[in-house]
């Protein structure tokens, strides 16, 4: 637990959550509440494969299909990298496959996770406020 980072969050309150008026327990609950989003840094090949509409894949030229398979065999896919650009070019920007992949690359998280703090307990808040 990075108590210094937690202390900064509680003191600066950059999202104006009102930490100063909260008890330790209330602040912990607030920091653990899932209301933020962040970009995923990677997707597994299986996640990507399961988002591809089968009929859209079979409609692709054989060369493009092979390129998609080659990308999937990398293992970890960068959802904001050149792979995303290549998938958009292959399936079309507004296609069901691309809509599904765009939705997958963002995840809902708590403020604590967003800050890299993990799960916060009231004791963590108490320590940070000392």
Question: Mean pLDDT in each 10-residue stretch from start to end of the chain (130 residues)?
Answer: 95 96 97 96 93 95 94 91 93 93 95 96 95
The predicted structure's pLDDT at residue 96: 94
The predicted structure's pLDDT at residue 93: 87
Short-list 5, 35, 39, CA closest to 17? 35
**How far is CA 118 from its chain centroid?**
14
The predicted structure's pLDDT at residue 1: 86
- Helix (H) or strand (E) run with residue 65 in it: helix 62-72
Contacts of 2 (CB under 8 A, 6+ apart): 116, 117
The predicted structure's pLDDT at residue 75: 82
The predicted structure's pLDDT at residue 74: 87
């Amino acid at each position: 637990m990075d108590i210094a980072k937690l202390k900064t969050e509680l003191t600066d309150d950059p999202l104006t959550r009102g930490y100063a008026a909260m008890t330790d327990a209330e602040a912990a609950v607030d920091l653990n509440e899932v209301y933020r989003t962040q970009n995923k840094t990677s997707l597994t090949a299986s996640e990507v494969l399961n988002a591809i509409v089968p009929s859209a894949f079979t409609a692709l030229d054989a060369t493009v299909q092979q390129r998609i398979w080659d990308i999937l065999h990398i293992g970890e896919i960068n959802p904001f990298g050149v792979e995303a650009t290549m998938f958009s070019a292959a399936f079309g920007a507004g296609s069901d496959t691309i809509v599904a992949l765009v939705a997958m690359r963002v995840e809902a998280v708590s403020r604590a996770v967003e800050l890299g703090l993990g799960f916060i307990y009231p004791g963590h808040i108490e320590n940070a406020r000392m």
